[in-house]
A and B are shown apart, each in its own frame.
Chain A
Amino acid sequence: MDYAIQQILNALSFGAEYALIALGLAIVFSIMGLVNFAHGEVIAFGGYSMVIVGTLLTRNPFLLMGAVLLACVLVSVLLERVAFRTVRKADLTTGLLTAFGVSIILQNLFLLLGSPRPIPATQFIFLDRTITLGAVQVSSLQIYETLATAVAIGFLLFFLRRTTLGLAMRAAALDFEMVRLCGLRANRVIATAFAVSGLLAGLACIFIMARRGSVLPHMGFDPVLTAFVACVIGGFGSLPGAVLGGFLLGAVEVAVLVLLPQSYGGLAQAVVFALVALILVWRPDGILSPAREKGDKV
């Protein structure tokens, strides 16, 4: 029983990380219809910023966290201005290719200006401490990460439902032209979506760095691929769907790792994606795909 509880907690921890990154992807997709694969490089940029600020300015972990969040927000908004604004009216494929292009360029910049090797940055390691509750061990990082995801969801719900800009973003997701006709600045609405996405990337970066203690050029790319799958499961464009997809994927991954006989270990990823495929057979648009309202984008 203790073992089962332990693994359920582990699944929650996996899921919280995926959910946090998936939310960052979903918020941009819901406004622009763009799958921003460069989101992972925003996370990696946060890691490199941590190295630079930690080396040159301060090793205070709390100031570093602020620096990471700020760096991710700024680079995310900058990418929107430099790369994505120009393809805003182009079709989905162009946006997707642009995102891949930005991702590759940033990875190579990290490689050339940084190093292909992991660069140590251990200031956030203190977040990862083991707490023993009876026979069950919980990492403090698991608790922080799950709490941060919950707070992020709450913040997003409040922002999207209670603020003018948030309402504008929701409206833009339905009919962008109408929002512009109502006098709202399209650039500001989209830049805000990227800023929120950058903030979520910064949060994810803090937790990833607390686990890894080092930064690599491609450190954000693999988690974003997994988060993309989480978005697909939950229903692309749906924020609750992204969270649900993240937690579901975390649960499936841990279950496969634990339950699959070790001699079939090489099939772990195959089993995970087979289960994902089954979910999509049941719900082709994802579990919580947004209802198609009148005027909604198809």
Chain B
Amino acid sequence: MKNLKLTRNILMAGAGALALSAGMASAQETIKVGFPVPLTGDFAAYNEVEGARCMAEMINQDGGVDGRMFELLVQDTGADTQTAISLTERYLGEDIVALATIPFSDTMIPVAQIAGSQGVSVIQAQSTQVEMHSGVVDNFITNVAPDPYTATAAANYALEQGVQNVAILTSDEGGSWSAALPEWFAEVIVENGGTLQTRLNYTSGTTDWSPQIAELRGLDPAPDAVFISWAMPDIGILIRQMRSAGLGAWVVGSDGFDDPSLDALAEEDPSLLDKVFFGTLAPAVPGSRIAEFQDQCAEMGMEVNGLFPSLGADTIRIIEYGVQTAGSTDPAAVREAIRNAESIPVMSVEEITFQDTGSYALREIPVIGFENGERVVLSQEIPENVPDWQ
């Protein structure tokens, strides 16, 4: 009887040990990434969840990262900063490797500060805002180059087209993205002998640009290009109203133009987009790596629409590289591995690196335009004449 009890105890202890080790293995095999992002509200279109989910699924189907599987923790913030902070605190208790959130500095900075207290990095797929690179946080990494690079690439292409006289439209409502980016564009133009003719204001949700267009029509000489860093549908209205008013200037923009709904203007009249181009984060044109990725995701039954959601795939590839190189899911070790890498393969372009910059990816900036209403890459460069922004 005593032997039976002993045997039972040994068996129970063994089972307990097995369960414990199984639990540890399971914890080791999971790479948790937190996504406190807007799934609803005005900014839902800017979350990277669709692309991240698809890439995580692809990696998991291939056996994970050295046997570790990705697990995405996704919850809606509705673009509310306080909700993002609360969710960040929750995810930090669930052993996440990294966090991704909405690409606006008023959310990214507090989220990064809280995540930093536990050594966790914020790895953002699409953040171009310069505020994030001012040293306010040291655990922030973005997959793309800051706005001054986009502005410079667009300005360089404009100069190649003979643009000399420019007008810029600015707004304080999008932070430096809508207020300073046009200024950087103009700075490059002026440094190369051009003229900034005027600055005009606008507000979010403008559905009638007639007052600004009346100002543009009053310029002498007529501007060669009008630059604005804003998004659809306001941009589409501006382009249509400018053409309707007989203004033939180039309409130049930033990544806000990179929305499939802009292409719909071509359905109405392809020539509306003939003199439109924009510097953006990565080349999402037919035949590109991004288009190929979207097709693969569609075959898997996972729709990924547009550039912004697609770039979530890059976040997953960056974390994959960090975990693989560090050999662990320790957040600090993963960040170190990412920052020391000479080259990290990602989905949207062949490779990126953070070695010289620490917090942002040096990558080629595509300038996208339209031919017969179809998107084409007009130029692609890492600009070297970027205005001083730091």
Which residues does A use to contact B, with CB under 8 Å? 3, 6-7, 9-10, 13-14, 17, 108, 111-112, 115-120, 122, 125, 128-130, 132, 137, 139, 142, 208, 211-214, 216, 218, 222-223, 254, 257-258, 260, 262, 265-266, 268-269
Contact = CB atoms under 8 A, between A and B. Distances in A.
A53 to B, nearest CB: 17
B286 interface: no
B267 A257 contact: no
Contacts of A132: 246
A283 to B, nearest CB: 26
A218 B42 contact: yes
Contacts of B244: 128-130, 139
B232 A262 contact: no
Contacts, number: 113
B214 A268 contact: no
20 contacts: A6-B214, A10-B214, A111-B41, A115-B45, A116-B42, A117-B306, A122-B265, A130-B246, A137-B214, A137-B217, A139-B241, A139-B244, A211-B208, A212-B207, A212-B233, A212-B237, A213-B233, A214-B264, A258-B215, A269-B203
Interface string B239-267: 01100111000000000000111001101
B236 A212 contact: yes
A13 B210 contact: yes
A213 B264 contact: yes
B259 A118 contact: yes
Interface in B65-117: none
Given A108-B40, A139-B210, A214 B240 contact: no
Given A111-B44, A142-B210, A266-B172, 14 more contacts: A6-B214, A7-B211, A115-B45, A117-B261, A118-B261, A125-B240, A129-B244, A137-B245, A211-B237, A212-B207, A212-B233, A212-B237, A258-B211, A258-B215
A142 B214 CA distance: 14
B65 to A, nearest CB: 31
B363 to A, nearest CB: 25
A10 B210 contact: yes
Most-contacted residue by chain B among A17, A216, A223 (CB, 10 A): A216
A134 to B, nearest CB: 13
Contact of B259 (A17, A108, A117, A257): A117
Interface size on B, as a range, is 35 or more
A93 to B, nearest CB: 24
Interface of B: 40-45, 170-172, 198-201, 203, 205, 207-208, 210-212, 214-215, 217-218, 232-233, 236-237, 240-241, 244-246, 259-261, 264-265, 267-268, 305-306
A213 B240 contact: yes
Contacts of B241: 128, 139
Contacts of A212: 207, 233, 236-237
Most-contacted residue by chain A among B42, B171, B259 (CB, 10 A): B42
Contact of B171 (A120, A218, A265): A265
A265 B201 contact: yes
A111 B40 CA distance: 7
Contacts of B259: 117-118
B79 to A, nearest CB: 11
